[in-house]
Amino acid sequence: MITAHRHFTRVAAGLIASVSLVACGGISQQQEVELGAQQAQQVNAQLPMLQDPTINAYVNSLGNQLARTTSRADLDWHFAVVNTDVINAFALPGGYIYVNRGVLQQASNESELASVLAHEIEHVVRRHSVKQMEQVNNANIGVALACTLTNVCNNQVTQAAIQVGGSAYFAKNSRADEVQADEGGFSTMIRAGIDPHGMLTFFQKLLAEEQRSGGGNASSWFADHPGTEDRISDIQRLLNQDAGQLRGLRTDSQAFQSMKRRLAQLPPAPRSQGE
């Protein structure tokens, strides 16, 4: 735990150092990308990353299929897998998307995995975390940004480090942001030719897991993605409304199923600190 504390302090210091980027006015796309790249470097150094080239190639290919249909197709999108069973995903500014191994393990088909990626992509498309940074511009910026990005102010430091799911690294999204990310992600999936039913079935699965085990590996998801029950109704409404558009879209792929087989053969994820 002491190690986690020390690492975490270094991450927070790094984030404070990057504050000069946002000191005056809005954040340009170039600044956003630089900020995201800096944070990604820290995340990659601090979190246990899954280093399997085949699985990484698949996740990047699927992520890029989705991202290139969005209004921010010009960004250089990066997708990476964090080697933890905790079910979660997060996005950094500028197009850096992280999905935990736990999501890959829970997902039964490509549509379910794509729904998580499309949701996170939409947070970047809508610049949710960037907007939060712009809002704290006039406050005591060093402290405020570090708090927004790391939760260092309202969490036990060690607790934040335990949440390998990533909430330690990025802004908390509001319920409104979450609904936007779902709805935008839903449309992204359709544009990419993927049936968005996976968004419904994946959320239902997480909710069932939460109700059965009082959270377990899914509790981190619920902490970072508020309002899941309302969001399920919203997605159900979209599915009914767009039913005509969904015929012929794919739900699964051979690439997804071979990723699953490969994943099952890898050594298990390291236990999270504090487990």
Closer to Zn ion by Cβ: residue 78 or 225: 225
> Nearest approach, Cβ of 173 to Zn ion (angstroms)?
5
Nearest C-alpha neighbor of 238 from the set 191, 196, 189, 175: 196
CA atoms within 13 A on the CB side of 23: 7
Q: Binding pattern to Zn ion, positions 209-238, x when CB under 5 A?
A: ----------------x-------------
> Nearest approach, Cβ of 170 to Zn ion (angstroms)?
10
Structure-token pair, residue 227: 């309002």
> Nearest approach, Cβ of 217 to Zn ion (angstroms)?
17
> Nearest approach, Cβ of 68 to Zn ion (angstroms)?
20
- The answer to whether residues 15 and 36 touch, using CB atoms and an 8 Å cutoff, is no
Residue ranges with strand state E in 33-82 = 78-82
Closer to Zn ion by Cβ: residue 173 or 188: 173
Structure-token pair, residue 23: 């000191």
Closer to Zn ion by Cβ: residue 233 or 258: 233
> Nearest approach, Cβ of 20 to Zn ion (angstroms)?
28
What single-letter DSSP state applies at residue 86?
S
Structure-token pair, residue 128: 């949710």
Closer to Zn ion by Cβ: residue 215 or 226: 226
* Of the residues 50, 86, 99, 181, which one makes contact with Zn ion according to CB under 5 A: 181
List, in order, residues 6 or more apart from 206 with CB less than 8 Å away: 87, 106, 218, 221, 222, 228
Closer to Zn ion by Cβ: residue 14 or 63: 63
Candidate ranges 31-39, 176-184, 194-202, 253-261; the one touching Zn ion (CB under 5 A): 176-184
| 9 membership: H or E segment, kind and range | helix 2-17
- The answer to whether residues 124 and 40 touch, using CB atoms and an 8 Å cutoff, is no
Binding site for Zn ion (CB under 5 A): 173, 178, 181, 225
